[in-house]
Every structure is written in C-alpha cells, then in structure tokens.
C-alpha cells in the first residue's frame, strides 16, 4: 500500500465548512443548555385574632440572613450541614423581603396593635422589630421544614433592646421537591409568625409621649 500526501484545505474552504456548521453547533449548544424555568412560589400570612396591646406602633425591619438564605433559592440541608437547592422552584422575592412582608401582614391580620409598617415608610413608631433568619430549609434525612427566626424588640426612641427571643418551628415534608417543600416551609413559617405576634402583643411596650395620644389598653 502506498501513502499519498494530502494537502490541508485552503482558508476559503475552511471558512465555507465553518459557515455551514456554525448555526447547527449554536443550536445544539443552546438545546443542551436550555432547561425549564423554575416555578415561582409565594408564602402566606395567617389570620388568627390575638389579644394584647392596642396603642403601640411597630416597625418591622427586613430580617438579616447569611448569603445562602438571602436569595430566592429553596434550600435543602443534609445531616452533615451541606446545602443544596431545589432546582425547579424559587421564592417570589428574596427570602428576607418575603418574610418581612408576610410578618407585617400577619400583624395586620391578627393583632390589635395600632399600626405596623416598614422603616422605609417614614412612620413614627414606638418600637422596631429587628430580626435574623437563622434557618429556612428542608432538613434531610428527617425530611422536616425548619424555620428559625431571632427577634429583638428595640425602643425606637432610645435604641435599647427591650426583649429578645428565638422562634423555631418545624413541619413534616412529604417529599423533597419544590411543591412539598414550599407547603411545609409555609406551614412552619406561619406557626413561627403567629408566635412572634403573640409574643409582641403580650410584651410591655413603651409608647411615645405625644399630645392627644392615649395609653395602650
């Protein structure tokens, strides 16, 4: 058998081949990289009449959180502490903003407190709630939704911490997927928020001395 040298294709020929293959390669890459958009989930605010202070105005600040809890991902944490995300679901907003909004709604739905707002509203308040989301995840292999929020009541006039408490709530997760995780986390958060509202409503809170304003009942 004899071998004959084969000359490489000319630059013009190479350009023609690339032009023919280019669009097909782009389509193939785009198809391989595409994936269904994650489903967006909201949280709810419970309603349950809670008796307590009536003349107090409260500002609910946006909770702080570590980076993993500051986004829109739904978190799964295993027994070793390693975290992963449920890929086909996400929260409707960043988790701290979502929890802030739902806690305000829970106060409005459930308590007899005079007024509740965000600090950015410019409202004059008696106290602020300063909080931190410590856990908001599905824990495996126990398959439990775990919500833990640290809350402090701070005097809006003096900045002094009047009281503080950590609230923890759990709910079983039927299956570690987006829909079941959201349902369980929503249940756990609702229980924690009602506990927070009961605690604040039962606490002795200072009221600003303003002309024409009555004392809390």
As a whole number of angstroms, the distance between CA 98 and CA 44 comes to 10
- Give the end-to-end CA distance of the chain in Å, rounded to a whole number: 107
* Domain locations in the chain as residue ranges: 39-202
Q: How confident is the model at residue 12 (pLDDT cuts 50, 70, 90)?
A: low
Q: What is the pTM of this model?
A: 0.80
pLDDT digit string (tens) for 165-208?
999 999 999 999 999 999 999 999 999 999 999 999 999 888 87
Residue 24 pLDDT > 60, yes or no?
Answer: no
Specify whether domain 39-202 bears CATH 3.40.50.300. no
| 98/62 Cα distance (integer angstroms) | 9
pLDDT for 32-74, tens place per residue?
455 678 999 999 999 888 888 778 899 999 999 999 999 999 9
Which sign does the torsion angle of CA 23, 24, 27, 33 carry?
negative
> What residues pair up with 132 in beta bridges, in sequence order?
64, 150
**What average pLDDT does the segment 103-120 reach?**
91
Longest CA span, the chain: 110
Q: What is the DSSP letter of 142?
A: T
Helix (H) or strand (E) holding 215: none
Distance CA 117, CA 123 (A): 7
């Amino acid at each position: 058998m004899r071998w004959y040298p084969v000359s490489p294709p000319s630059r013009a020929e190479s350009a023609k081949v690339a032009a023919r293959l280019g669009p097909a390669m782009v389509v193939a890459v785009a198809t391989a990289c595409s994936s269904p958009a994650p489903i967006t989930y909201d949280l709810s605010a419970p309603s349950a009449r809670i008796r307590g202070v009536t003349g107090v105005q409260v500002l609910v600040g946006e909770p702080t959180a570590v980076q993993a809890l500051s986004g829109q991902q739904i978190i799964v944490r295993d027994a070793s502490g390693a975290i992963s995300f449920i890929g086909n679901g996400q929260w409707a907003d960043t988790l701290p903003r979502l929890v802030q909004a739902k806690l305000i709604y829970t106060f409005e739905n459930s308590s007899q407190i005079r007024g509740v707002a965000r600090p950015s509203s410019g409202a004059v308040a008696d106290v602020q709630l300063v909080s931190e989301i410590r856990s908001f995840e599905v824990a495996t292999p126990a398959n439990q939704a775990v919500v833990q929020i640290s809350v402090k009541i701070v005097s809006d006039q003096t900045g002094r911490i009047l009281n503080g408490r950590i609230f923890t709530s759990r709910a079983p997760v039927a299956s570690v997927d987006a829909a079941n995780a959201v349902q369980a986390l929503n249940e756990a958060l609702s229980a924690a928020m009602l506990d927070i509202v009961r605690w604040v409503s039962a606490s002795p809170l200072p009221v600003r001395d303003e002309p024409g304003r009555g004392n809390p009942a």
